[in-house]
A = this chain, B = another copy of it.
Amino acid sequence: MSRDLPNSKDTELLQRARRVVPNGVWGHMATRGIGPGYPQFFSRSEGCRVWDADGNEYIDFMCAWGPNVLGYKHPEVDQAALAQMQRADIGNGPTEVMVELAELLVDTIDHADWALFQKNGTDATTVSVTIARAATGRRKVLVARGSYHGAVPWCSPSTVGVTTEDRAHLIQFDYNDVASLEAAVAEAGQDLAAILMTSFRHDIQRDQELPEQAFLTAARKACDRTGAALIQDDVRAGFRLDVRGSWAPYGIQPDLAAYSKSIANGWPLASIAGNARMLEGAAKIFTTGSFWYGAAAMAAAKVTVRILKETDALTHIAAMGQRFRDGLEAASERHGYRLRQTGPVQMPMVLFDGDKDLALGNAFCAAALRHGIYLHPRHNMFFCAAHQASDIDRAMEAADRAFADIAKAGFTQQ
């Protein structure tokens, strides 16, 4: 193995954090579940690079777990947001930017007749469900087993602190399994309010699956037949795969779609885009938040969406993702390892075949960190427009050395 990276500052910050924050760090960015070798604290981010608290530099393939789509500190995005902030960010109502952004989303997203804004992806999924229930007057919501839709009681992956009643009206089906979807639709009967599903299957620590055309078509038809709402949770994939909505290539239009993460290139924002059929439901519910009209984040979104729409940023991201996938495949083969690379190349999941306890994945990612690339052993990764071919090539050199490291350390594959 190569030398360990300096981590004294990271260790000190984690010790301090543990005295004043439960577990020191909470949620999806806590690294104690993975490891070893992951820095927990960061000091700088720019383009496709992050620097940890000790100043170690990494080519970043997590992109803040999605929000970074054009590159950290994108000058045009940040300039627009800061200029708006100089005029007005929060006040006693919205600014013109809210209207402009809603108009832009309606012009951009295939199914969108209107938009609403929030702060968290969980806000967007939760409010979408509320709108669907208001629009239909029904209660049951179908969700795919294992899909992530947020971290509040009705949808959290954990049931600690959650009551049975929080999920009383959820019915589960299996993603990409038409028969199980139809069975769930039948179970809901006259009370079916919505089918909620992620844009593709991107559950943690398992192969990703693109949606099958027949599956999306069945979901759309079930909603058309029953009057239920098809809700697309595009929080993770939205504005990274296709600016028209991640199901645009399939020709499937949801009634409601939830966005967040990359919509404003890291400025905190979420959005729901809905069609005319959902308008009355959306107009009837009460939904709000103290910072939801914040105009700086909306100005950032306006520029982000415009750039994604008008430039080849998304084509470039896909090309970089493909270059990474091909390079990683070749590198793994050189060292005798078999990878499972699944999902869209822009949001790749990389698992070692048969690596059930993640021993290989963890060792490989730890080695990769030491060679200057930040990967994730069990969650999908993200590419951004700031990744250049030279970054990918440099990352592939690092990956090659990481494979060599784990081979030398005796990590073998079944």
Contacts and interface: CB of A to CB of B under 8 A. Distances in A.
Interface stretch (A122-130, A247-255, A311-319): A122-130
Contacts of A114: 20-22
A103 B286 contact: no
A285 B161 contact: yes
A96 interface: yes
Contact of A139 (B31, B41, B163, B281): B163
A165 interface: yes
A64 B90 contact: yes
Contacts of A284: 160-161
Contacts of A62: 92
Contacts of A266: 89-90, 291
Contact of A260 (B19, B288, B290): B290
A16 B103 contact: yes
A115 interface: yes
B93 A31 contact: yes
A45 B66 CA distance: 32
A283 interface: yes
Interface of A: 13, 16-17, 19-23, 25-29, 31, 39-45, 50-51, 53, 60, 62, 64-68, 72-73, 78, 82, 85-96, 98-99, 102-103, 105-106, 113-116, 119-123, 126, 129-134, 139, 151-154, 156-158, 160-163, 165-166, 168-169, 235, 260-261, 266, 268, 274, 279, 281-294, 297, 374
Given A27-B289, A93-B25, A291-B268, A162 B20 contact: no
Given A29-B92, A286-B27, A152 B126 contact: yes
Contacts of A260: 290
Contacts of A78: 85
B21 A98 contact: yes
Contacts of A68: 90
Given A31-B93, A160-B284, 20 more contacts: A20-B106, A21-B116, A22-B274, A22-B283, A26-B287, A27-B286, A39-B93, A42-B94, A53-B96, A73-B85, A78-B85, A89-B266, A92-B374, A119-B289, A121-B290, A130-B152, A133-B162, A139-B163, A160-B286, A266-B291
Closest 4 CB pairs of A and B: A27-B288, A134-B161, A158-B286, A130-B161
Nearest to A60: B92
Given A21-B102, A158-B286, A169-B165, A291 B67 contact: yes
Contacts of A20: 99, 102-103, 105-106, 113-115
A88 B45 CA distance: 5
A13 B99 CA distance: 7
Contact of A17 (B26, B102, B261): B102
Given A93-B39, A119-B291, A163 B133 contact: yes
Nearest to A193: B161
10 contacts: A13-B96, A16-B103, A27-B289, A41-B93, A60-B91, A60-B92, A90-B266, A121-B289, A133-B163, A161-B281
